[in-house]
Homo-oligomer: A and B are copies of this chain.
Amino acid sequence: MRITLLAGGVGGARFLRGLRAAAPQAQITVIGNTGDDINLFGLHVCPDLDTVMYTLGGGISEEQGWGRADESYTVQSELTAYGAGPDWFTLGDRDFATHIVRTSMLSAGLPLSAVTGKLCERWRPGVTLLPMTDDDVQTHVLIDDDAGTRTVHFQEWWVRLHAKVPARAFIAAGAERSTPAPGVLQAIADADFILLPPSNPVVSIGVILAVPGIAEAVAARTVVGVSPVIGGAPVRGMADACLAAIGVRSTAAAVAAHYGPGLLNGWLVDTADAAATGAAELAGIAVRARPLYMTDIDAAAEIAAAAISLAQELAHD
């Protein structure tokens, strides 16, 4: 069985851990969001790719959901002593090593996809992890604040401003000139089906779909998604602030409608949302309701198994 996913950070990574348990024989390819990537202190940081890599490789901080376990912060406190660069983005010493190795390989001319493969030789995540593109695509956020109407990097809005300044729009800067990384379109074409884990529909999966060619390739396949919204609120993070910016309500049904039947064939919602969503068809999208809280790996595996079942059912229709 071949399964390809479009994934952001924490939600995608935790779903993937369940998927790997539910389908240990499956060949899983993860197309990761790189719109959140940011250059900090001259180093290339890939928050979403690293969260997937660390989570599946056993190095994640379980408490945070991102960053390394057993982390220390000596480098960053020294950087602060130098008055260097942003202090609102926390990088631990172990994490710094990843960014140092990545930046060194990028500077030597390797594309991000090859670099990611090299980093995964250490972490052995059990999946093929691909960046959506090797090109520079950055998610920017259009905001109004005391400095006027301006765009800020997604991380500045998300981490420094805690997504509290209303976003007027998200811009995947550079996306129009980007191409999918090597292997991305093939992994979509070769997969038995595509899964959308409960990642942020706007700034994670939405940005991946903004890379020319990916949305069309995905739409041609059987696609099953897992709602990141339960009971009218995102399970984690501040996806509601992102949805609000693009005029989508924070409900499981609204997110499915946002993806639309042209992209999405099946949609898992939480039992709490079964009534509101309608347990039957939602505008051409097959809906199934079940508990969606990924409280542990077993719970994530059961959700993943349900997604596989629905995808197989739809693929054979």
Contacts and interface: CB of A to CB of B under 8 A. Distances in A.
A124 to B, nearest CB: 12
A43 B74 contact: no
Contacts of A119: 82
A72 interface: yes
A109 to B, nearest CB: 12
B101 A84 contact: yes
Interface in A133-189: none
Interface in A61-85: 72, 74-76, 78-79, 81-85
Interface residues of A, number: 28
A280 interface: no
B122 A100 contact: no
Nearest to A100: B41
A104 B84 contact: yes
Contacts of A271: none
Nearest to A97: B78
Q: How many copies does the complex hold?
A: 2
A83 B93 CA distance: 17
Given A93-B74, A96-B96, A81 B122 contact: yes
Contacts of A98: 78, 82
A164 B32 CA distance: 49
A78 B104 contact: no
Given A42-B107, A101-B41, A122 B75 contact: no
A97 B82 contact: yes
Nearest to A122: B82
A83 B103 CA distance: 15
A221 interface: no
Given A41-B104, A81-B97, A83-B121, 6 more contacts: A42-B100, A72-B93, A74-B74, A75-B96, A75-B100, A81-B122
Interface of A: 41-43, 72, 74-76, 78-79, 81-85, 93-94, 96-98, 100-101, 103-104, 107-108, 119, 121-122
27 contacts: A42-B107, A42-B108, A43-B100, A43-B104, A72-B72, A72-B74, A72-B93, A74-B74, A75-B75, A75-B94, A76-B97, A78-B93, A78-B96, A78-B98, A79-B101, A81-B97, A82-B98, A82-B122, A83-B121, A83-B122, A84-B97, A84-B100, A84-B101, A85-B104, A93-B93, A96-B96, A96-B100
